[in-house]
């Protein structure tokens, strides 16, 4: 495994890359029932070894190209992949913004892992990547996601109707952003 990009109290946070193929595949296999209500519907080809490998290679290329920062947090105590945080769609110019998406493995939920990971990752996106705005959106019924964003200081900006197709259905989302404080 390459050197981590960031360290938190309980995790080492890496850019998603080829060396993480096994833990990433394990993560989606173990957590498929836990994650599927909150993610786009995916056919079996998405979960093939080749497809995972391609996405991990794309993550490395997009990081080098400044298009995304896709993170995988490895729990130091167990060596398991605890969670994923994807800062994608980085737009420069007068916007200096990106989107944030995230998930935790079921066994890591309810223990403060995502707050811990995102706290460091957001600092990195503001200080090192010099972004101004991070946008994160969630379905009104995803209470855990809403509480997490509130805890991290994201502000609600509106409700977008039929915003994303999640688990096969167009779903309204609450739009939130966090802006860098100077």
Ligand X SMILES: CC(C)(COP(=O)(O)OP(=O)(O)OC[C@H]1O[C@@H](n2cnc3c(N)ncnc32)[C@H](O)[C@@H]1OP(=O)(O)O)[C@@H](O)C(=O)NCCC(=O)NCCS
Can you give the binding site for ligand X, defined by CB under 6 A? 35, 38, 102-104, 109-115, 138, 142, 144-145, 147-148
Write down the least CB distance from residue 109 to ligand X, Å.
Answer: 4
**Whose Cβ is closer to ligand X: residue 60's or residue 152's?**
152
**Whose Cβ is closer to ligand X: residue 2's or residue 123's?**
123
Q: What is the helix (H) or strand (E) element at residue 33, kind and residue range?
A: helix 32-35
If we measure between CA atoms, which residue out of 73, 95, 100, 93 comes closest to residue 84? 73
Q: Which residues contact 181 (CB under 8 A, 6 or more apart)?
A: none
Q: Which residues contact 90 (CB under 8 A, 6 or more apart)?
A: 66, 67, 68, 69, 97, 98, 129, 131
| CA distance linking residue 97 with residue 150, whole number of Å | 19
**Whose Cβ is closer to ligand X: residue 15's or residue 116's?**
116
Write down the least CB distance from residue 119 to ligand X, Å.
Answer: 9
**Whose Cβ is closer to ligand X: residue 65's or residue 110's?**
110
Write down the least CB distance from residue 46 to ligand X, Å.
Answer: 16
User: Which residue's C-beta sits nearest to ligand X?
Assistant: 112
């Amino acid at each position: 495994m390459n050197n981590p990009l960031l360290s938190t109290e309980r995790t080492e946070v890496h850019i998603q890359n080829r060396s993480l193929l096994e833990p990433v595949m394990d993560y989606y296999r173990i957590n498929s029932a836990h994650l599927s209500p909150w993610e786009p519907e995916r056919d079996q080809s998405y979960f093939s070894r080749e497809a995972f490998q391609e996405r991990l290679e794309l993550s490395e290329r997009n990081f080098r190209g400044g298009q995304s920062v896709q993170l995988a947090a490895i729990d130091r105590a167990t060596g398991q992949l605890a969670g994923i945080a994807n800062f994608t769609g980085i737009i420069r110019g007068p916007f200096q913004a990106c989107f944030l998406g995230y998930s935790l493995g079921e066994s890591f939920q309810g223990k403060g892992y995502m707050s811990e990971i995102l706290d460091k990752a957001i600092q990195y996106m503001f200080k090192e990547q010099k972004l101004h705005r991070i946008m994160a959106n969630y379905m009104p019924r995803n209470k855990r996601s809403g509480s997490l964003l509130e805890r991290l200081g994201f502000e609600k900006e509106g409700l977008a109707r039929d915003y994303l197709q999640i688990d096969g259905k167009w779903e309204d989302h609450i739009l939130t952003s966090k802006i860098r404080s100077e």
